[in-house]
Amino acid sequence: MPDFQAPRGMNDVLPEDEAIWRHVRETTERVARLFDYRRIETPIVEELGVFTRTAGEESDIVSKEMYAFDDRGGSTLALRPEGTAGVCRAYLEHGMASRPQPVRLYYFAPTFRYDRPQAGRYRQHWQFGVECIGDPSPAADVEVLELQRTLYAELGLTDFTVRLNSIGTAETRAAYREVLMAHFAPHLETLSADSQRRYETNVMRILDSKEDANHPALQDAPSILDYLSEEDTEHFAQVRALLDGLGVEYEVDPAIVRGLDYYARTVWEFQPQDAGGQSTLGAGGRYDGLIEMLGGPSTPGTGFATGIERLVLEIEKSEPDLDDVTPDVFTVPLGDAGAIAAARLARDLRAAGVAVRAGVPGRSMRAQLRAANSSGARYAVIVGDDEAAKGVAQLKPLLDDGDQREVALVDVAGAVAD
């Protein structure tokens, strides 16, 4: 056992994982481009308040899972447990409200939650997320949800259920919470300890409880949809009409309440068909109050995020055939003069855009050719002292049984380009 390992719940993404990670990353970038979203990078850490004010002091990610610390100057910072709050902080800080609205942004970024590690749940995970800020309309919610659906479809993932709900505005929820508290009060003793805690901190989260999912008090709990204001109801009806018009299937599920305080109105989760609630592929919703919570003017926003590790696990189930990265050319240097000529040739080839894996001078020709064969390169280029003296190389095709031939060093780039 070596002295050190990666921190518990955190993963190394190894070169052999790169093909699938690149496939996912490039697909997210392509789909973001199709919807005209621009990339934003925010720091991995923010001032603690960015998260406590928005996700809420009582949310799991803040109260149980945050990596928070004081830096050497005494500022209290936190590793980001989610992406939306930092993006909104940047929107505000850079005056993006004066740009044409909405501002459409995306990120692909490491995210940290001190959670109990298990398959698909890590202490560092990567999120792809988008935020559409400055548009209160139902069309913005549907654009974001459609972007998410398109991303999964482009990755070959279609076997999921979209669970959709509206949780209304803060005023709606205040009234609904009272109704819920009255409903759960007589059942408190038979609910789990976690639900009893949620009763005090945020009673709506009891609806989200895995442990109590089959408890009769959850089954017949009053639905938030019956307590929405007229405007909330109209907004939600328009979201559904647009989704119906696009042929996007979804299930309205009043139990989708989301664990972050900043949500308002439309919320949704994409769940794989064959899995329980733990493995939500990605989720999002509207957060019209968030920028105000950060001290800015009232600004609407909507977005989603999806965990990259969970996407990779889903995609791997179908064993995709993804191209590994291979060099174009493997150089085989032999002898001292050959080593210099091979190093120069490698430099010229790279300048011409040819990917070169350099053989190790001093190793035998046999060993180098064996390495060349397993590298996936299309050509081995052998340069010994004799070749160096004559200004040539031996070009050996590796992927077909073409003949080895002698080529002038200056012609190698052209020959391997064919």
Minimum distance, C-beta of residue 116 to ligand HAM, in the bound complex (Å) = 9
- Of residues 281, 297, 280, the one with CA closest to residue 289: 297
DSSP letters along 72-127, please? TTS-EEEE-S-SHHHHHHHHHHTTGGGSSSSEEEEEEEEEE-----BTTB-SEEEE
Contact between 86 and ligand HAM by CB under 6 A: the answer reads: no
Contact between 143 and ligand HAM by CB under 6 A: the answer reads: no
Which residue stretches of 205-260 are H helix?
Answer: 216-219, 230-246
The one among 27, 306, 331, 394 contacting ligand HAM by CB under 6 A: 306
CB 394 within 8 A of CB 404: yes
Q: How would you classify the pairing of strands 379-383 and 329-333?
A: parallel
Q: CA dist 339 to 286, 369, 391, Å?
A: 61, 15, 13
Q: CA dist 386 to 382, 389, 393, 394, Å?
A: 11, 5, 9, 11
Q: Name the residue nearer to ligand HAM (CB basis): 148 or 195.
A: 148
Binding to ligand HAM in span 98-127, by CB under 6 A: 113, 115, 120-122, 125, 127
Minimum distance, C-beta of residue 333 to ligand HAM, in the bound complex (Å) = 45
> Across-strand partners of 380?
330, 396
CB 35 within 8 A of CB 147: yes
The one among 56, 86, 102, 129 contacting ligand HAM by CB under 6 A: 129
The one among 102, 168, 303, 333 contacting ligand HAM by CB under 6 A: 303
Binding to ligand HAM in span 186-215, by CB under 6 A: none
Q: Name the residue nearer to ligand HAM (CB basis): 282 or 289.
A: 282
Q: Which one of the spans 19-27, 100-108, 249-257, 302-310 is the region binding ligand HAM (CB under 6 A)?
A: 302-310
How far is Cα 142 from Cα 241, in angstroms, rounded to an integer? 10
Phi, psi for residue 357 in degrees, rounded to 5 = -100, 125
The interface mask with ligand HAM, positions 269-298, x = CB under 6 A, is: -----------xxxxxx-x-----------
The one among 52, 59, 84, 299 contacting ligand HAM by CB under 6 A: 84
Contact between 309 and ligand HAM by CB under 6 A: the answer reads: yes
The one among 46, 60, 131, 288 contacting ligand HAM by CB under 6 A: 131
Q: CA dist 314 to 20, 159, 318, 320, 378, Å?
A: 11, 10, 8, 11, 32
Q: Name the residue nearer to ligand HAM (CB basis): 144 or 395.
A: 144
Q: Name the residue nearer to ligand HAM (CB basis): 11 or 223.
A: 11
Please count the residues of this chain forming the interface with ligand HAM, following the rule CB under 6 A.
Answer: 26
C-alpha radius of gyration, the chain, whole number: 28
The binding site for ligand HAM (CB under 6 A) comprises 82-84, 113, 115, 120-122, 125, 127, 129, 131, 280-285, 287, 303-307, 309-310
